[in-house]
Amino acid sequence: MSEGHHHDGSIAQQVREVEAELEASGIVSAAELEAILDAMRTPADGARVVAHAWVDAAFRERLLGDATAAIEELGYSMHGGVRPQMLVALENTEAVHNVVVCTLCSCYPIALLGPSPPWYKSEAYRSRVVREPRAVLSEFGLELAETVEVRVWDASAETRYLVLPLRPRGTDELAEEHLAALITRNGMIGTASL
C-alpha cells in the first residue's frame, strides 16, 4: 500500500476503502459483490436445516452421516467458496453437548449460517472454550449438568461444524416453520440450548 494510506478509522471505513481499491483495480466489480451479498446466508438458513432434521428422521440420519450432501437437498451448498468444504453435523443429546470453535482463526459454516458473531472471533472465546468449556458456557447462560459430556470441536478451513441442538420439550405439535423460529445461531454453535 502506498504511503499516505495508513488509517486508524473504523473497520467499516477501512472495509469501504479496501472495497473501493479492489473495484478500482478491477479485481472485483460492484455487481459481483452485490451478488455475493444477496446470496449471503443467515442463521435462519441453518435453522431450516435443523428444523427439518427434527421432523424428518430419515433426513436427520442423512445429515448426521454426510451433512455436506444432505444440506443440498434443501438447496444449500458447501462448494461455493474458493475450496470445497466439508460440513459435519454434531448431534446434541441428553448425554452429550457439542460446542464449536476455531482456535487458529475464525472458521465457521458461513455457507449455511452467514457471518460469524464477533465473540466467535475473539481471542477470549477461542482460547478459553477449548480449556474450560463449562465455565465459558456458563457465562453464556448455559449451565450443563455435570453428567453431560462436553465435546469441543476445533473447526478448520476444510471442515465446518453445525450443532444439531436438542429439540425443546413440548414442541411435538409445532409445524416445521414454527420449529425453525425457535432455533438460534448460538444454539447451532453450541453456546446456547433452546
Partner 1 sequence: MDDRFRTGERVLVSLPDSPGHHRAPRYVRGHVGTVLAVHGRHVLPDDVVARMAEPHVEPVYAVAFAAGALWGAGDHTVTVNLWESYLEPAEEGR
List, by residue number, the catalytic residues.
102, 105-107
Does position 121 interact with partner 1 (CB under 8 A)? The reply is: no
Cell of 172: 411435538
Q: Which of 17, 139, 149, 176 binds partner 1 (CB under 8 A)?
A: 149
Does position 76 interact with partner 1 (CB under 8 A)? The reply is: no
What are the two backbone dihedrals, phi and then psi, of residue 44, each rounded to the nearest 5 degrees? -60, -30
Footprint of partner 1 on 90-119 (CB under 8 A): 103-104
Q: Which of 22, 64, 110, 150 binds partner 1 (CB under 8 A)?
A: 150
Does position 151 interact with partner 1 (CB under 8 A)? The reply is: yes
Footprint of partner 1 on 23-42 (CB under 8 A): none
Does position 79 interact with partner 1 (CB under 8 A)? The reply is: no
Q: Which of 19, 61, 132, 139 binds partner 1 (CB under 8 A)?
A: 132
- Residue closer to partner 1 (CB basis): 23 or 156: 156
DSSP code of residue 82: S
Cell of 161: 461444524
Does position 184 interact with partner 1 (CB under 8 A)? The reply is: no
Q: In whole angstroms, how far apart are CA 111 and each of 19, 100, 167, 180?
A: 21, 16, 23, 18
| Cβ atoms within 10 Å of 154's Cβ, excluding its own | 15
Helix (H, G, I), strand (E, B) or coil at 69: helix
State in angstroms the smallest separation of the CB of 4 from partner 1.
31
- Residue closer to partner 1 (CB basis): 13 or 138: 138
Q: Which residues of 92-106 are buried (b: 16+ CB within 10 A; e: fewer)?
A: beeeebbbbbbbeeb
* 120 alpha carbon, distance to own chain's centre: 9
Tell me the Ramachandran region of residue 85: left when phi exceeds 0, alpha when psi lies from -120 to 50, beta otherwise: beta
Does position 190 interact with partner 1 (CB under 8 A)? The reply is: no
Footprint of partner 1 on this chain (CB under 8 A)?
Answer: 83, 86, 88, 103-104, 130-134, 149-159
